[in-house]
A = this chain, B = another copy of it.
Amino acid sequence: MTIKDVCEKFGITADTLRYYEKVGAIPKVGRSQGGIREYDDEALSWVNNAVCLRKAGVSVEAIAEYVRLFNMGGETLEARLELLSKERESLGKQLEELTNAVELLDYKISRYRKAVETGVLTWDRDPLGN
């Protein structure tokens, strides 16, 4: 698979893909004789890992650290588990913040729907709405 195919598959740019490789968020990708990247299934799996985690806000650095540990082999199983657990915990917190914000927005939206109907914006929870 060429870099372009991978870009389309994951909805990212070639620059981003090269950047991920440069900083180690994915392992070095195999090349043709001419030096052109050729993504095999394993490479795609790494790209998927990076893209999925990045979309959730995991830092490129953390992803790269995981790749680094992975490439060091079986000695780093515990370290990788710890890294993944830490990131998982942080995503759990983020999930909570996100849920809070969604709740806030949903409440405001419901008030605004009423306001657009009636012409008056009111708050029934806390008299100080905005």
Contact = CB atoms under 8 A, between A and B. Distances in A.
Interface stretch (A2-10, A15-23, A30-38, A39-47): A39-47
A129 B45 contact: yes
5 contacts: A45-B128, A45-B129, A46-B130, A81-B113, A84-B109
A97 to B, nearest CB: 4
A67 to B, nearest CB: 8
Contacts of A92: 102
Contacts of A87: 105
Interface residues of A, number: 46
A116 interface: yes
Contact of A55 (B46, B78, B100): B100
Contact of A100 (B56, B94, B121, B128): B56
